[in-house]
Amino acid sequence: MIGKKMEEAMNQQIKHELESAYLYLSMVAYFHSQGLDGMAQWMRAQTQEEIVHAMKFFDHIKERGGRVELLPLAQPKRDWTSPLEAFQEAYQHEQFITSKIDDLVRLAAQEEDHPAGILLQWFVSEQVEEESSTSQVVQMLERIGDSGHGLIMLDRELGARTFNPPPAAEE
Ligand SMILES: [Fe+2]
Ligand SMILES: [Fe+2]
């Protein structure tokens, strides 16, 4: 059985993950509006991954006899001044999510909640990747600067990203 404190904290984390999905989906719309369909595709895959993250916490609460509570989501920003600004925000957002995962790791240790600790180890590694992938795009965009040609090349490259759904969870 999951403890009340952990249940509450994971319900908050479901909200953070879904707000990540919401933010990235807003970026999908922004990139399409700029004719950058490759970047939109990249962010679409990112959005789907965030929903998978939310569902991992959802299922963990459910499997341990807790109650999932869906909290209201904040409306995401609609416009950015450049692709660089959008990816910078994605990178900053991932750093914020990492801090939230770190808080959960601390809580799991305090509560001696070992099942939560195991689940959270996966998220610790995942956040290393999330920060790395978004900061890499930021670096490339910084290098490209005002080159329209560079932007088109990067857009094409990022458009190759696909979303691989996780294998169906065993019941
Ligand atoms: Fe996430
Ligand atoms: Fe993420």
User: pLDDT (tens digit, 9 = 90+) per residue, 51-107?
Assistant: 999 999 999 999 999 999 999 999 999 999 999 999 999 999 999 999 999 999 999
Query: What is the Å distance from ligand 1's center to 53 Cα?
Result: 5
Question: Residue 170 falls within a domain, yes or no?
Answer: no
Question: Residue 38 falls within a domain, yes or no?
Answer: yes
pLDDT at residue 166 in the model: 85
Query: What is the Å distance from ligand 1's center to 52 Cα?
Result: 8
Domain that holds residue 62: 4-158
Per-residue pLDDT band for 141 (boundaries 50, 70, 90) equals very high
Query: Quick one: which ligand is closest to 94's CA?
Result: 2
Report the 10 Å Cβ neighbour count for 111. 16
Angle separating helix axes 114-144 and 148-158, nearest 10 degrees: 150
| Beta-carbon contacts of residue 158 (< 8 Å; ≥ 6 apart) | 38, 39, 41, 42, 137
Q: What is the mean pLDDT of residues 36-41?
A: 98
Question: Residue 57 falls within a domain, yes or no?
Answer: yes
Question: Residue 169 falls within a domain, yes or no?
Answer: no
Q: Do 18 and 56 touch, CB atoms closer than 8 A?
A: no
Residue type, 96: F
Residue type, 130: E
Query: What is the Å distance from ligand 1's center to 20 Cα?
Result: 7
Question: Residue 164 falls within a domain, yes or no?
Answer: no
pTM (two decimals): 0.95
CATH of the domain at 113: 1.20.1260.10
Question: Residue 34 falls within a domain, yes or no?
Answer: yes
Question: Residue 153 falls within a domain, yes or no?
Answer: yes
| Beta-carbon contacts of residue 124 (< 8 Å; ≥ 6 apart) | 101, 105
Question: Residue 60 falls within a domain, yes or no?
Answer: yes
Query: What is the Å distance from ligand 2's center to 17 Cα?
Result: 7
Number of domains in the chain: 1
